[in-house]
Amino acid sequence: MIDAVVFDMDGVIVDSEQVWDDVREQLAKERGGRWHEGAQAAMMGMSSPEWSAYMHDEIGLPESPDEINAEVVERMLDRYREELPLIDGAVEAVRRLAPEFRLGIASSSNRPLIEAVLERAGIADRFDAVVSSEEVPRGKPAPDVYLEAMKCLGAEPARTAAIEDSSNGIRAAHAAGMRVIVLPNAHYPPAPDALALARAVIAAPDELTPELVRG
């Protein structure tokens, strides 16, 4: 029996991967970095200390990782203030599941971004636990952020479902021992070997029902 559900945020609640891509690419080009086509895919799932170090070491930005992180987060917040790119049906899916399960967030986004999205979407009060991967030792595909979210919820992996969209997120949730439900990211589809770890694959949040979660 499933009694808790942990959502990823980027690509599941908010259609933000291309926003991250645009913000980091623009910053890299402004600062003389070596942006390349595989950069966004390489950083998907990384915690903020990990991707900011990647921007410094691999993309070649001269600023420190801490400075890069702060600048990217501020630009992301500016974009969210202009327009919050919620995925159609995602807010309704959260509200549909909230009466049935304890809900958590396990996101690679920085906490200020998570809080901004949940508050603006009007669903912050639906979640009993919110964890950013910047608050755990390793980002996805390591299971750390999911394990911490379940710890905060008081939930057992075998009784918890994860809602994910990306290869690294799927691998993280599976490594944490959870039932993984996948809403494939349209911009960066999960790899076949990652998708094979899913217990269910859905095409839209409208399909995310208590009956599907319980299996």
- Over the stretch 2-54, which tens digit does the pLDDT of each residue have? 999 999 999 999 999 889 999 999 999 999 999 998 898 889 888 899 999 99
The residues of the chain scoring below 70 in pLDDT are none
Question: DSSP state, 86?
Answer: B
Is-catalytic flag, 125? no
Q: Do residues 124 and 205 share a domain?
A: yes
* CA geometry: angle 214, 14, 138, nearest 5 deg: 75
Q: Which of 28, 36, 30, 32 is nearest to 52 (CA)?
A: 28
- With residue 115 as reference, give the H or E element that holds it: helix 111-121
Q: Do residues 89 and 187 share a domain?
A: yes
Q: Which of 136, 137, 184, 212 is nearest to 8 (CA)?
A: 184
* CA geometry: angle 185, 6, 9, nearest 5 deg: 40
Q: Do residues 133 and 169 share a domain?
A: yes
Contact between residue 132 and residue 35 where contact means Cβ atoms under 8 Å apart:
no
Q: Residue 199: which domain range? A: 4-15+85-214
User: Residues 10, 15, 21, 144: which is the catalytic one?
Assistant: 10
User: What's the pLDDT score for residue 40?
Assistant: 85
User: What's the pLDDT score for residue 209?
Assistant: 98
Q: Do residues 40 and 132 share a domain?
A: no
Q: Do residues 105 and 148 share a domain?
A: yes
Total count of domains within the chain: 2
Residue that finishes a domain, picked among 82, 110, 127: 82
Q: Which of 72, 30, 76 is nearest to 53 (CA)?
A: 72
Predicted TM-score (pTM) of the model is 0.93
Q: Do residues 27 and 97 share a domain?
A: no
Q: Do residues 46 and 90 share a domain?
A: no
Is-catalytic flag, 10? yes
User: Residues 8, 15, 21, 144: which is the catalytic one?
Assistant: 8
Q: Do residues 175 and 107 share a domain?
A: yes
User: What's the pLDDT score for residue 187?
Assistant: 84
Q: Do residues 71 and 95 share a domain?
A: no
* CATH code for the domain of 62: 1.10.150.240
User: What's the pLDDT score for residue 44?
Assistant: 83
Q: Do residues 42 and 140 share a domain?
A: no
